[in-house]
Amino acid sequence: MNPEIDSARSHFDVIVVGGGNAGIGAAAHLRRQGVTDVAVIEPQLVHTYRPMLSYVGSGQAPLAHAERTQRSVTPKGISWLRDSVVAVDPDAKQVHCASGRVHGYNDLILATGLVPDHDDLPGIDDALATPAVASNYLDAAEKTWQLVQDIPRGGHAVFTVPRPPVSCTGTTIKPLFLAAGQWKRERRLPGITMTLVVDRTDLTGIPKLDDALRAQLKDLNVRVLHGTAVTGIDTAKQAIDVSGPDGARESIAYDMLHLVPPFRGPEWLTTSGLAGASPHGLADIDYTTFRHRTRRTVWAIGDGAAVDTDPSGGALRMQAKIVAKNLVAQRSGGSMTSYDGYTVSPIATDAHQLIAAEFDRTKKVSSSLPTFFDPVRPRRRAWVFDRYGLPVLYWNLILKGLI
């Protein structure tokens, strides 16, 4: 079936909003659960395997390895509506799109992801358009790699980690470690100063993992500013304004800035009445079942949902499977499957070393490796799997709902 063939239809059994990892995975699992009339609303022509962007930004992979057409990853039998959602009417069970089309549904799965919070940090797009600012999170990974190569000896590289929500906290630290690994190989360290601005009191919130990361940062002589928010970007001076935990303000000049801005859920989640009390507009769900707290036919997974764990690709794989099972279970009166908050936050600490960082909602560190392996020790084997093994699984199994 041509994934766009039903784009003018007015009603679908299930509509999935978002054609990324979470949305495509959920659609694929619904098909395998016997739900046949499913549409995915996604405006982009290109589907990106976002974990690969860290490696694009460090020169370890070309961008082409992270991209495929949206048509090619849409599961067979699923309708792809190339459109953007602007509102949801949960009373009428309708989705309103930017094209003017209105689509009805029996069940709705929100897999929206996050958008940059321009109110919290103005000037994000303007900053990204300047020569010294890049971001793997804002589709500028190739520029990140260019800046890593071009930074002068004696230069200052600044990396930022925003307050929650953000997709995979560990990935926000990856660009620093991978850049440092490149500079070490080129014998430019010491010689490049690094600052990490972290708008949190910790790094990941997992004590054992944070201890390991702090040791790595100390070895690299990185200045780490905890509890510090980026409040402004002065592109003319090539400096960021920051506010520390005690309210102290500072201007930090940079020769290279890897910016991970603050994020929030799409505004229409809030205006449609589907966001909760969180100031950042996440879908208000029961985080064990993914069903909306007040709308029984609305479900949500992924970065834009209040899942009460650190979002990641590994988390999305399980969430997509569970939300499909629970949607079908609700229809048949069966019992629902509970999500324990499992997630994985792979952090490369050098060019070919990586901490897998698996944990659950209680912050308990787990590991898919044998128990005698230290789960927070950097390993080459973990890096090989993250760089080469996971992409194969993603394209061939995860997006097809096979695992």
Kindly write down the DSSP assignment for every residue of 333-384, as one continuous string.
T-PPPPP---EE--EEEETTEEE--EE-TT--EE-SS-TTS-TTS-BHHHHH
Phi, psi for 263 (deg, rounded to 5)? -120, 165
Domain 124-262's class?
alpha beta
Q: Does the pLDDT value for residue 144 go beyond 80?
A: yes
What's the average model confidence in pLDDT over 198-217? 92
Alpha-carbon span 222 to 110, nearest angstrom: 39
pTM of the model: 0.94
Q: What is the reported pLDDT for 8?
A: 65
> What separation, in Å, do the N-terminal and C-terminal C-alpha atoms of the chain show?
23
The predicted-structure confidence for 235-247, as pLDDT tens digits, reads as follows: 999 999 999 998 9
Q: Does the pLDDT value for residue 6 go beyond 70?
A: no
Higher per-residue confidence, 124 vs 207: 124
Mean pLDDT, the chain, rounded, equals: 93
Cβ count within 10 A of residue 212: 22
Rounded to 5 degrees, what angle do the CA atoms 397, 400, 403 make?
A: 50
For 6, which DSSP code?
T
Q: Which two structure tokens, joined as six digits, stand for 335?
A: 């019992």
Equal CATH topology for 11-114+265-342+394-398 and 124-262 = yes
Q: What is the reported pLDDT for 83?
A: 97
The predicted-structure confidence for 168-178, as pLDDT tens digits, reads as follows: 888 899 999 99
For the chain, the helix, strand and coil percentages under 3-state DSSP, each to the nearest 5 = 30, 25, 45
Q: What is the reported pLDDT for 118?
A: 97
Residues 6 or more apart from 332 whose CB is under 8 A from it? none
Q: Does domain 11-114+265-342+394-398 have CATH number 2.170.140.10?
A: no
Cis peptide, bond prior to residue 190, ω within 30 of zero: yes
Question: In the chain, what are the domain boundaries?
Answer: 11-114+265-342+394-398, 124-262
| Percent of the chain surpassing pLDDT 70 | 96
The predicted-structure confidence for 351-397, as pLDDT tens digits, reads as follows: 899 998 888 887 777 665 444 456 678 899 989 999 999 999 999 99
